[in-house]
Amino acid sequence: MMKVEIISKENIKPSSPTPQHLQNFKLSLLDQLIPAPFVPMVVYFSNNDSFSAKHVRVQERLVLLKQSLSQTLTRFYPLAGIIKNDLCIDCNDQGAHFVVAKVSCDLNQFLEHPNLQLINNFLPCKPSFSEAQVTHIQVNTFECGGIAIAVCILHKVLDGAALNTFMKAWSGTACGSKKVVYPDFVASVLFPTDNLWLKDLSMGVWSSFFKKGKCTTRRFVFDGSAIATLKTMTSGKNVVRHPTRVEAVSAFIWKCAMAASEKKSCGAKRCSLLNHAVNLRKRTTPALSNDSFGNLIWIATAKCKAKYDDQLGYLALVDQVRKGISEINVEFVKKMTGDQGAAVMSKSMKDIGDFGSEEEVDHYGCTSWCNFELYELDFGWGKPVWVSNVGLDAQVFTNFIILMDTRFGRGIEAWVTLDEQEMDNLEHDSDLMALASLDPSPVKI
């Protein structure tokens, strides 16, 4: 049985103190949108050194990680602070909570059959809505000298794209890259706020998404050829569609998840809603930098009535996903940042909450980390062999899909969290399993 033993805990402070005029960092209006407590990521690096050198190398790498993190936090100073309230961060240089742990197995042994729930043992903290410290990091060292770096940052501070920017900056500092990444703190300028109206509104909407019961998470991996097949399946009579990888895969999983829910309900069809988190950075005029910091996302909705035409099936769902995402465009974001921004956002959230309000609705959330180039992260000892999220095992949860790139090619790992019975139905869906592999070893894809 794999054991994870905590070796040390400390706070890593910025290498230079944060100037007084920057110590009160205002959160943006969009930082109030997402209810999840943390954005977690785990990055796994194998050890290519000889057995005799592994202990020395691990110690050298731990020193390098701490020093480079300290330097990076000077630029990303809000990540070294604490949450003062729902409107701002106290950038008091308390530092990032930094944990070192020892894992009682080789990395390859874990990666051969990764247990998604056990990944939680690599995290430096348990998900909590009351956590004040912004950044938590745990470096897990394996017996072979391999390392898994787990990062948990409060979601009210950043989204997946901003976490990716931080990881690129940290790894670049560690390996001495000439390109220094600086975050662009533009979010609170574009979406300023001095009250919590969006938090109150969004929590009222999201509350209906939470389910009680027992959930589980599985990875469904689609290789490049499977995705090409899905795209071919979207060409209907007299219509040629060109969906993105994300649109094709998310619509297909949505279709299969609806079938799993219908089977659980003994054939009863329900309305279904798929919510996609959409990155706004390239949907502004002018476009924002990819290194823009904060939560710069809005929610696109794809809707399916209980009486949808089974003959249309997947084609109709792809169209709905594309339609929802395409509506979060330059014009929409322009309205969000204009004088009527509050009314536009309120209506958007109200439309989500009102869908199927007179009947039962299955809600699904989806976010994509594809094209983040996470497999290009290099702290100075090579690129990752795997980048993962975590498996959930909770009594209160939401149906959720996280899409991530595979290490090679143009494949997608879909991390799907559902009710246990619905997941069992999903795993036995012949259409899904004809195209996806269930929890394969990351080193073999």
Which residues carry out catalysis?
Answer: 155, 378
Sign of CA dihedral 38, 31, 67, 406: positive
Distance CA 305, CA 308 (A): 5
- The answer to whether the CB of 162 falls within 8 A of the CB of 183 is yes
Distance CA 234, CA 178 (A): 44
- The answer to whether the CB of 207 falls within 8 A of the CB of 316 is no
Q: Give the contacts of 113 (CB within 8 A, at least 6 positions apart).
A: 439, 441
Phi, psi of 357 (to 5 degrees): -65, -20
Distance CA 299, CA 301 (A): 6
Spacing of C-alpha 14 from chain mean position: 26
Q: What is the CA radius of gyration of the chain?
A: 22
Distance CA 306, CA 258 (A): 10
Distance CA 86, CA 175 (A): 35
**SS3 letters for 150-200?**
EEEEECCCCCHHHHHHHHHHHHHHHCCCCCCCCCECCHHHHCCCCCCHHHH
Which 3 state secondary structure label does DSSP give 42? strand
Largest CA distance in the chain: 67
For 146, the token pair is 């391999």
3-state percent helix, strand, coil for the chain, nearest multiple of 5: 35, 25, 40
DSSP string spanning 289-330? PTTB-S--EEEEEEEE-TT--TTTHHHHHHHHHHHHHHTSSH
Distance CA 73, CA 59 (A): 21
Edge-to-edge strand ranges of the sheet holding 4-12: 4-12, 96-103, 135-142, 147-154, 38-45, 386-388
